[in-house]
Amino acid sequence: MQHFFDKRDILIRHSIILILSMLFGLSMVSDDPALFTLEGWLKALIWNFLFISFIWNGNMALFKIGPFEKLSWETEPRKKILVALVVALFWPILCYYLFNIYFYEPILGYPCELGSKENVIFLIITVNITLLINAIMVANEFFVHWRKSKLEKEALKRITISAEFESLKNQVNPHFLFNALNTLSGLIDEEPKIASRFVQKLSSVYRYLLSQKDKEIVSLGEELEFLRSYIFLYQIRFGENFKVEIDIPSNLMHKEIVTLTLQMLFENAIKHNVISKEKPLTVSIYGKENKLCVSNNLQPKTILTESNGIGLENIKNRYAIVSEELVEINKTASTFSVCIPLI
């Protein structure tokens, strides 16, 4: 309810209400000889100011705490417009009857004739003004939402491009290629069938990375299919020293995640931890409620590989745009885990 309590907005809103009250008050005085005095005009002014204030402020409050606020512009735009229309029609009518029945006589000094021509015209004008105000509010909110969505998409696209560039750079850097080719050369003579499969998986990794350049999110099933090829390359390189456990319920496979998230989490685990016969690294992927978690036993390298820190920060920034759920990072003395929201 930011604008509802904003001091500047309150001043502008009630200044407009005061002007409208003065105009309606003059109209009431000219139509009713009993009010044709300074005291009568002040009573009419007070009456109109309270009445219009209650309608306007109540109308804004209904927008912020009622169903209008809960409905989404993406999925239910017609319902939002319908709610605004219903509020504009029935709220002023309800206020009109309550105020005229309970407050008209105490303020103005005589009972109200609800069915009089003047009062009916006043009600019609009130409803039309409320409709106009609601139309402005709906249009303004839609424009703000549209602009915010556009900016978020542009920000996500920039972050995604940054992540894709970093992922591609990591895969084509001399160290990765040297390790991959070195592993491959050792397999060609000893394990030609595995060497052939290694080349296929390496090709699949590059193909997937290049195919995701225009995607912001991808299905969990599709990302896991890519990850299996990625895991295979490292398992051939590290052998039994690198283990991966995947336990994800089938009902989560249709969910979506930010593109290349799993690969970046695996890169972090491999980059920052010792992998040896004495200290094998185990990475676990599992579903947790509506989240996907990647966990590994913690055995940090004494000399860290050069890193620019883009990994986890990039993941958090990208998820902040597409989901209200936060990325959870948990570190203990023996484990490190990251849980990402499923979209």
Which CATH number do you get for residue 297? 3.30.565.10
* Residues 107 and 201 reside in one and the same domain: no
**Inside any domain, residue 247:** yes
Q: Where residue 168 falls among pLDDT bands split at 50, 70, 90?
A: very low
The total number of structural domains that make up the chain: 2
* Residues 77 and 113 reside in one and the same domain: yes
Q: Which of 303, 226, 223 minimizes the C-alpha distance to 271?
A: 303
d(CA 244, CA 291): 18
* Residues 144 and 185 reside in one and the same domain: no
Mean pLDDT value of segment 153-160: 67
- Residue 343 near residue 323 (C-beta atoms within 8 A): yes
* Residues 296 and 178 reside in one and the same domain: yes
Please write the tens of the pLDDT for every residue from 288-332: 888 999 999 999 887 655 554 456 877 887 787 777 788 999 999
pLDDT of residue 280: 92
Q: Where residue 179 falls among pLDDT bands split at 50, 70, 90?
A: low
Q: Where residue 24 falls among pLDDT bands split at 50, 70, 90?
A: confident
136 or 223, greater pLDDT? 223
At residue 285, does pLDDT exceed 90? yes
**For the ranges 53-62, 72-81, 214-223, which has the lowest average pLDDT?**
72-81
**Inside any domain, residue 165:** no
**Inside any domain, residue 30:** yes
At residue 84, does pLDDT exceed 90? no
Considering 150, 181, 208, which residue would you say is the last residue of a domain?
150
Find tokens 């509506």 and name the residue: 290
**Which tokens sit at 311?**
């990994």
**Inside any domain, residue 207:** yes
**Inside any domain, residue 164:** no
At residue 206, does pLDDT exceed 80? no
**Inside any domain, residue 143:** yes
**Which tokens sit at 201?**
């998986």
**Which tokens sit at 150?**
């556009």
* Residues 90 and 193 reside in one and the same domain: no
pLDDT of residue 5: 58
pTM of the model: 0.50
**Structural domain boundaries, residue 277:** 173-341
**For the ranges 32-41, 76-85, 198-207, which has the lowest average pLDDT?**
32-41
At residue 107, does pLDDT exceed 90? no
For the chain, the straight-line distance linking the first and the last C-alpha, in angstroms and rounded, comes to 27
* Residues 120 and 218 reside in one and the same domain: no
* Residues 207 and 255 reside in one and the same domain: yes
**Inside any domain, residue 155:** no
d(CA 259, CA 261): 6
Mean pLDDT value of segment 217-230: 87
* Residues 137 and 190 reside in one and the same domain: no
CA–centroid distance for 197 within its chain: 41
* Residues 181 and 308 reside in one and the same domain: yes
**Inside any domain, residue 65:** yes
At residue 7, does pLDDT exceed 80? no
* Residues 193 and 243 reside in one and the same domain: yes
d(CA 30, CA 166): 75
* Residues 206 and 334 reside in one and the same domain: yes
* Residues 145 and 207 reside in one and the same domain: no
Considering 116, 150, 184, which residue would you say is the last residue of a domain?
150
